[in-house]
Amino acid sequence: MELSETLPLGELAAAFAALPVFPLFDTAYFIVSVLYLKYEPGAVEMSRKSPFASWLCAMLHCFGSYILADLLLGEAPIGYFSNNSSVMLATAVWYLIFFCPMNLFYKCVSFLPMKLIFVAMKEVVRVRKIAAGVHHAHHLYHHGWFVMMATGWVKGSGVALMSNFEQLLRGVWKPETNEILHMSFPTKASLYGTVLFTLQQTHWLPISEANLIFFFTMFMIVCKVFMTATHSHASPFAPVENLICPVLFGSLSSGHPSHHHDHHGASHEVSHPPPPPAKSKEELNEGTRKRKAKKAE
């Protein structure tokens, strides 16, 4: 029994971890997810020309985490869709965001103060999903650390990890980048989070699950609300990563001179077109939005 449980904070954390996510927090998750779908170039046009494809994309955005986790664990990827009420709620959110007369619903939910509340609520759901994913995988594979971490990660990242294929459904194909090669903040945070939750589940991290959920959720809320409000893309992990990664993973110029490898065939010099820019999808969309804002003025 950890010390923190005797403090009121422990009770707050326990109450927080026991909050039901359906329907309020889930609705916020769906709203933010479908908003990001609407921001994608061509999404509104697709909703008019191919409403079914638009709906399916929205379902991938809302339930991608469950689909991916089920795929990993060999369960039915469509299993979560047996929750009719969740699917109908997500469908209603999609319909209102894309087809509400005068675009009223969209204007309401994208009003910045409202949007920030929904963004915060989405992070509550995200962290819960990571914890549930690690817990579920632990139940199936008691000592499968990598399985637990992978399941928690896909539950937290959701549709982002299948972005290439979600884009393919919309008729867009960008193979030069993907969410694993260039991680956006939510994906990277989910990765670090799943490691923490796995360490907690396997008793290597001496903290209760409720406390970890509470603190990690607070961290995610602060970061995401700040990043959304300021349109910033600076990763809070960058300072630590810039210290550790050069030590662990070296740099291109050290230790692997290209000419030494020619005889043994290490074709590691970049002989194909320059690598994709380091910008993540968020940064690219941000640039597009700013240019359109300037154009409209």
Q: With b meaning 16 or more CB within 10 Å and e meaning fewer, what string describes 112-132?
A: eeebbebbbbbbbbbbbbbbb
User: How far is Cα 66 from Cα 24, in angstroms, rounded to an integer?
Assistant: 18
Question: Are 126 and 28 a contacting pair, CB within 8 Å?
Answer: no
Provide the angle, in degrees to the nearest 10, between the axes of the packed helices 112-140 and 145-157: 160
Give the amino acid at 50. S
Taking CB under 8 A as the criterion, the residue among 3, 8, 20, 52 binding its own copies is 52
Q: Is 203 in the site for its own copies (CB under 8 A)?
A: no
Count CB neighbours of 149 within 10 A. 23
Half-sphere exposure of 85 (CA within 13 A, CB side): 5
Q: Which is nearer to its own copies, 188 or 210 (CB)?
A: 188
Give the total of residues touching its own copies (CB under 8 A).
Answer: 97
Site for its own copies in 209-268 (CB under 8 A): 245, 248-252, 255-256, 259-268
| Candidate ranges 8-16, 123-131, 208-216, 285-293; the one touching its own copies (CB under 8 A) | 285-293
Closest approach of its own copies to the CB of residue 214, in Å: 27
DSSP string, 31-47: HHHHHHHHHSTTHHHHH
Q: Is 92 in the site for its own copies (CB under 8 A)?
A: no
Please provide residue 96's backbone torsions phi and psi, each rounded to the nearest 5 degrees.
-65, -40
Taking CB under 8 A as the criterion, the residue among 4, 5, 21, 81 binding its own copies is 81
Q: Is 191 in the site for its own copies (CB under 8 A)?
A: yes
Residue 173's region, left for phi above 0, alpha for psi from -120 to 50, else beta, is beta
SS3 50: coil
Q: Which is nearer to its own copies, 16 or 237 (CB)?
A: 237
Taking CB under 8 A as the criterion, the residue among 15, 24, 234, 270 binding its own copies is 270
Reading the block at residue 113, the tokens are 């103060």
Question: Are 86 and 96 a contacting pair, CB within 8 Å?
Answer: no
Query: Residue 121: which of 247, 40, 32 has the closest Cα?
Result: 32
| Candidate ranges 2-10, 117-125, 165-173, 208-216; the one touching its own copies (CB under 8 A) | 165-173
Taking CB under 8 A as the criterion, the residue among 182, 192, 207, 225 binding its own copies is 182
| Candidate ranges 12-20, 80-88, 155-163, 204-212; the one touching its own copies (CB under 8 A) | 80-88
| Candidate ranges 11-19, 38-46, 121-129, 232-240; the one touching its own copies (CB under 8 A) | 38-46
Taking CB under 8 A as the criterion, the residue among 21, 89, 96, 172 binding its own copies is 172
Q: Which is nearer to its own copies, 2 or 176 (CB)?
A: 176
Taking CB under 8 A as the criterion, the residue among 19, 24, 139, 176 binding its own copies is 176
| Candidate ranges 19-27, 69-77, 118-126, 219-227; the one touching its own copies (CB under 8 A) | 69-77
Closest approach of its own copies to the CB of residue 42, in Å: 5
Give the amino acid at 152. G
Q: Is 45 in the site for its own copies (CB under 8 A)?
A: yes
User: How far is Cα 62 from Cα 91, in angstroms, rounded to an integer?
Assistant: 10
Q: Which is nearer to its own copies, 1 or 292 (CB)?
A: 292
